[in-house]
């Protein structure tokens, strides 16, 4: 075996020993509520398809229509082959949804954060290494973007505006460009950033506020606008509540023009394919009118949170459609997930390094496809599992 292979194997052995090894499990899904694995069907509680749009007739029809009209692939990058007018149409809708002058469609949320942050934090353009104030629990893709730009992050305690204020004050006299990075809704905790306080701090300290609105877009805020109001630059995805794939940046016209010239993820990557653009377009058209579904999902999540807490489970600081049940160790999270699976529920154990050590959890995501009866059955199962040692562990 080549030297590198044995080291990869040693890594796999080590994560296996710590119960942190990940596997790709084969599943099938034919609708938004049920997932099949092996010969069994499960209620799917692991999908970020919060509005249950990925099987919606309108998205499928427009994806098919645009595939037939424009082809299955886009052929090259938007700069190399020319920019299909489909992008302009979607970007106008995104800019309007996010109430920003402009928007730019990107290939995926991960790629957007990785390459947009790299471009925005470019020290050769800014004249200095930026001061980047970042929530400790920001998504891996945001860390990746900062690393790619070779900037050191000043990480504030999760959701703690007072700590952010302290750090900003410490650097008040520093003339380097300042940025604040946060998610609006945190993907593994389902809690919300204190946006009004963060917006005020960004204004008071002359910092550019960049918000990842991935888990709020479509499902939270007025008309599904998300929770990024007051941010200078918003990054988000079409892959969650909006039911398809791809990402966007909503920003000023200058930032958009700059990204077209400097963002490697846009310049060096093939444009999203027309069927995906069709699904995005239909998702945007439908999403703003789905208040009933948004209310339904919020009610389901509240019903679950209250029921789980009443049964002694720790649901952290969740206030959204994402509800973690904190288990503590990786073993405890895997055991809880396995017991739920036996009972017909598919909810995934989330372990370090995705979440901090000691806060492994099972993550529940509620969607418009679920019913109150699903939540009640789930609570019934949790009530019978009764794991008091899990309920005593609190999140860091």
Ligand X SMILES: Cc1ncc(COP(=O)(O)O)c(C=O)c1O
Between 214 and 369, name the residue whose CB sits nearer to ligand X: 214
Residue pair 117/148 in contact (Cβ under 8 Å)? The answer is yes
Q: For residues 188 and 316, what is the distance between their CA atoms, to the nearest angstrom?
A: 10
Burial 235-272 (b: 16+ CB within 10 A, else e): bbbbbbbbbbbbbbbbbeeebbebbeebbebbbebebb
Distance in Å, CB of 110 to ligand X, minimum: 4
DSSP assignment, residue 192?
B
Report helix angle 274-287 to 57-70, nearest 10.
150
Active site residues: 48, 139, 183, 187, 212, 215, 240
Q: Which is nearer to ligand X, 95 or 322 (CB)?
A: 322
Residue 138 CB, nearest approach to ligand X (Å): 8
- Token pair belonging to 349: 């154990």
The C-alpha atoms of residue 376 and residue 395 are separated, in whole angstroms, by 25
The correct pick among 247, 250, 323, 327 for binding ligand X (CB under 6 A) is: 247
CB of 390 to ligand X, least distance (A): 24
Q: Report the residue from 74, 108, 318, 395 that binds ligand X according to the rule CB under 6 A.
A: 108
List residues bridging with 105 in a β-sheet.
Answer: 248
Query: Applying CB under 6 A, does 237 fall inside the site for ligand X?
Result: yes
CB 12, min distance to ligand X, A:
23
Q: Is residue 239 part of the contact set for ligand X (CB under 6 A)? A: yes
- Cα separation of 110 and 242, whole Å? 16
- In the bound state with ligand X, the residue whose beta carbon lies nearer, of 100 and 205, is 100
Q: At what angle do helices 253-262 and 109-120 cross, to 10 degrees?
A: 100
Sequence-ordered list of residues with C-beta below 8 angstroms from that of 384, at least 6 positions apart, any chain: none
* Dihedral-angle region of residue 313 (phi above 0 means left; psi in -120 to 50 means alpha; beta otherwise): beta
Alpha carbon separation from 92 to 149, 248, 252, 381 (Å, rounded): 29, 11, 13, 46
State the minimum distance, in angstroms, from the CB of residue 139 to ligand X: 4
| Residues in contact with ligand X, shown as a per-residue x/- string from 165 to 194 under the rule CB under 6 A | ------------------x---x-------
**Contacts with 145 (C-beta within 8 Å, 6 or more apart), sequence order:** 113, 114, 115, 116, 117, 118, 121
Query: Which DSSP category does 8 fall into?
Result: H
Of 214, 280, 297, 323, the one binding ligand X (CB under 6 A) is: 214
User: Which single residue brings its beta carbon nearest to ligand X?
Assistant: 109
* Beta carbon nearer to ligand X, 215 or 294: 215
To ligand X, the closest distance from the beta carbon of 184 in angstroms equals 9
**Between 208 and 217, CB nearer to ligand X:** 217
110 makes contact with ligand X (CB under 6 A): yes
100, HSE (Cβ side, Cα atoms, 13 Å): 27
Query: Across-strand partners of 125?
Result: none
250 counts as binding ligand X under rule CB under 6 A: no
Shorter beta-carbon distance to ligand X: residue 66 or 110: 110
| Smallest separation, CB 239 to ligand X (Å) | 4
Nearer to ligand X, 144 or 258 (CB): 144
Among 91, 135, 212, 232, binds ligand X (CB under 6 A): 212
Task: Identify the residue among 52, 86, 90, 109 touching ligand X (CB under 6 A).
Answer: 109
Q: In the bound complex, what is the minimum distance in angstroms from residue 24's beta carbon to ligand X?
A: 16
- Binding characters for ligand X, 122-151, by CB under 6 A (x = yes): -----------------x-x----------
- Residue range at the interface with ligand X (CB under 6 A); choices 82-90, 207-215, 312-320, 330-338: 207-215
Neighbours of 331 (CB within 10 A): 14
Q: Which stretch binds ligand X (CB under 6 A): 11-19, 80-88, 209-217, 314-322?
A: 209-217
Q: Residue 108 or residue 391: which is nearer to ligand X going by CB? A: 108
Interface size with ligand X, residues (CB under 6 A): 14
Stretch that binds ligand X, among 83-91, 108-116, 274-282, 321-329 (CB under 6 A): 108-116
Tell me the CA distances in angstroms from 61 to 53, 67, 277, one per residue in order. Answer: 12, 10, 12
| Residue 83 burial class via C-beta count within 10 angstroms: exposed 0-12, middle 13-18, buried 19 and up | middle
| Token pair listed for 203 | 């204004």
Interface with ligand X (CB under 6 A): 108-110, 113, 139, 141, 183, 187, 212, 214-215, 237, 239, 247
């Amino acid at each position: 075996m080549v030297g590198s292979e044995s080291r990869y194997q040693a890594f796999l052995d080590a994560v296996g020993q710590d119960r942190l090894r990940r596997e790709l499990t084969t599943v099938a899904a034919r609708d938004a509520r049920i997932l099949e694995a092996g010969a069994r069907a499960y209620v799917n509680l692991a999908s970020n398809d919060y509005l249950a749009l990925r099987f919606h007739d309108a998205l499928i029809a427009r994806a098919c229509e645009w595939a037939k009209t424009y082809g299955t692939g886009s052929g090259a990058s938007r700069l190399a082959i020319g920019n299909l007018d489909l992008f302009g149409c979607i970007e106008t809708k995104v800019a309007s949804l996010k109430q920003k002058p402009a928007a730019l469609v990107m290939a995926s949320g991960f790629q957007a954060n990785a390459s947009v942050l790299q471009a925005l934090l470019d020290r050769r353009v800014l004249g200095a290494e930026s001061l980047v104030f970042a929530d400790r629990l920001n998504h891996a893709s945001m860390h990746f973007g900062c690393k790619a730009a070779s900037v050191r992050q000043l990480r504030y305690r999760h959701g703690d505006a007072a700590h952010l204020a302290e750090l900003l004050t410490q650097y008040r006299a520093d003339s380097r460009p300042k940025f604040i990075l946060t998610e609006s809704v945190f993907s593994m905790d389902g809690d919300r950033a204190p946006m009004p306080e963060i917006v005020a701090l960004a204004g008071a300290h002359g910092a550019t506020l960049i918000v990842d609105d991935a888990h709020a877009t479509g499902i939270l805020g007025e008309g599904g606008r998300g929770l990024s109001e007051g941010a200078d630059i918003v990054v988000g995805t079409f892959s969650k509540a909006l039911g398809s794939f791809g990402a966007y940046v909503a920003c000023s016209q200058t930032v958009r023009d700059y990204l077209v010239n400097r963002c490697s993820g846009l310049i060096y990557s093939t444009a999203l394919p027309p069927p995906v653009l069709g699904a995005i377009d239909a998702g945007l058209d439908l999403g703003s009118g789905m208040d009933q579904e948004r209310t339904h999902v919020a009610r389901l999540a509240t019903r679950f949170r209250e029921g789980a807490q009443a049964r002694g489970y720790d649901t952290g600081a969740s206030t959204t459609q994402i509800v973690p049940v904190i288990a503590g160790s990786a073993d405890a999270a895997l055991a809880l997930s396995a017991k739920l699976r036996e009972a017909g529920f598919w909810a995934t154990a989330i372990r370090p390094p995705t979440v901090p050590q000691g806060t492994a959890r099972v993550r529940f995501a509620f969607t418009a496809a679920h019913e109150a009866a699903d939540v009640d059955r789930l609570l019934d199962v949790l009530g019978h599992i009764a794991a008091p040692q899990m309920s005593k562990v609190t999140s860091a």
